[in-house]
Amino acid sequence: MTVRDVLESVALRFNDTDYVRFTSGQYLKFLDDTILRLIQIRPDAHTTTAVVDLVAGSRQTIPDTGFSLIDIFMNKSGSAGSWTSGTPILQVAREDLDYFNSWHTAEEITEIDEFAYDLRNPRVFWVAPAPATAGTVHVEMVYSSGVDSYANDPDDFATVLEKTIPMEDIYRSVLISGMLSLCFSADSASATDRAVAQQYEQQFLQSLGLEYEASRELGPEIHDEVS
């Protein structure tokens, strides 16, 4: 899916194939805004898997480019380019860790056993045991992350049109609906355009499955053990 695939579909439906009603830069800004909304609602729409160094202490945060944690898989040892897989890391409820008064006490360790997470604070997670020194524990995780801005891309518009949007093709119609909602809502003086904007907004949200609270389901959760 390229930028052209989305923008040309939007411009055709908006009857603006020559980019007269809005400039090319405005269309790219609408694309940026729609992508951001999509990722905020569906964190799995664009993810990054990386080995992350933990800081000292039990409280940790995902990398600055991340929006929300999705999962933590395992400990890692070694260095970039030559990581070795370690023991798996289990998710537990924060309340279970709080039964142990000492779980915040830092220790000189190279691996952690467990992590806790709360969707109400999506960039923060907690680990046990807590490392005493930054950079001694490395974990592999996946987190929701943003994409580079197309409106602020230094390349010319023709070049930007050919760039690939790093999302699955299934989100193409979602992006088109979201952008059309923004396009039609820009004309606040037209009651007809406002009504059309609301229809596209409903399409955008329904396509993302908000009625099933999909974004909540995609956060890390504790699974029942299988006997």
The gap from C-alpha 47 to its chain's centroid, in whole angstroms, comes to 6
CA 205, CA 210: separation in Å to the nearest integer? 6
Q: Is the pLDDT of residue 187 over 90?
A: no
Span 101-155, pLDDT tens digits = 789 999 999 999 999 999 899 999 999 999 999 999 999 999 999 999 999 999 9
Run of H or E residues at 85: strand 84-88
Q: How far apart are CA 201 and CA 45, in angstroms?
A: 18
Contact 1, 147 (CB under 8 A): no
Q: Which of 30-34, 178-182, 204-208, 219-223 has the lowest mean pLDDT?
A: 219-223
Count the Cβ atoms, other than its own, within 10 Å of residue 87: 10
Residues 154-178 pLDDT 10s: 999 999 999 999 999 999 999 999 9
Helix (H) or strand (E) holding 6: helix 3-13
Alpha helices in 14-108 (DSSP H): 24-41, 94-97
pTM over 0.75: yes
Residue owning tokens 């008064």: 101
Residue keyed to tokens 């891309």: 153
Could you read off the pLDDT of 10-66 as tens digits, one per residue? 999 999 999 999 999 999 999 999 999 999 999 999 999 999 999 999 999 999 999
Q: How far apart are CA 25 and CA 154, in angstroms?
A: 12
Residue with tokens 């923060």: 124
